[in-house]
Homo-oligomer: A and B are copies of this chain.
Amino acid sequence: MFKDTDFITNSKVPGPTKEEIRCLVISKSQLKKEDEVLEIGCGTGGLTLEFAKRCKKVYSVDKNPDAIDLTRANLIKHNLLEKVELFHEEALNTLKNIDKINMLVIGGSGGNLLEILEIGSQKLTSEGKIIVTAILLETKTEAISKLKELGFSVEIIEVNISKGRILERGTMMYAQNPISIIYTV
């Protein structure tokens, strides 16, 4: 895994997804080397880079131009740009123009989660998987309900992680905000 500090950041762009969450997403994805991944809402590029390092091709989309620039900068920094195609547009647009993918990863849906899941599921190969990371309560229930409706078998974990700072007077734990990972199996 990359470290959180390995990424160039920008206050106008959320992320990067914390190292521990990237680790769990990659694990739940059961990614294969030959996979092609579409990631929606790439933000700082944390997950984009993790996928790019491990698979054949990543398509990353974000409607925030700063996110695209930042993801590109991080890809260049870590020498992974050639593995990734970046799209600065609405995710639904990218989805419509894309051919088959092995995995759909949704980090932010811009309010179009249901449509993205609907269309995205049609672009998946027969063994394809969908992974949603959710920081909003509503994203969790919408993703679960829609994925069930689309015929997927779905699992969810909620992750609460605290990280210690080892100070002179003792070890102080700092909480990261809770995040859920919803994934098809």
Chain A residues engaging chain B, CB cutoff 8 angstroms: 1, 19-20, 23-24, 27, 111, 135-141, 144-145, 148, 154-164, 166, 169-178
Contacting pair B171 A137 (CB below 8 A): yes
* Copies of this protein, total: 4
Contacting pair A157 B20 (CB below 8 A): yes
**Distance of A152 from chain B, by nearest CB (Å):** 11
Contacting pair A177 B178 (CB below 8 A): no
Residues in B whose Cβ lies below 8 Å from that of A173 = 135, 137, 156, 158, 177-178
**Distance of A25 from chain B, by nearest CB (Å):** 10
Residues in B whose Cβ lies below 8 Å from that of A178 = 158, 162, 173, 175
Q: Which of B23, B141, B175 contacts A171 (CB 8 A)?
A: B141
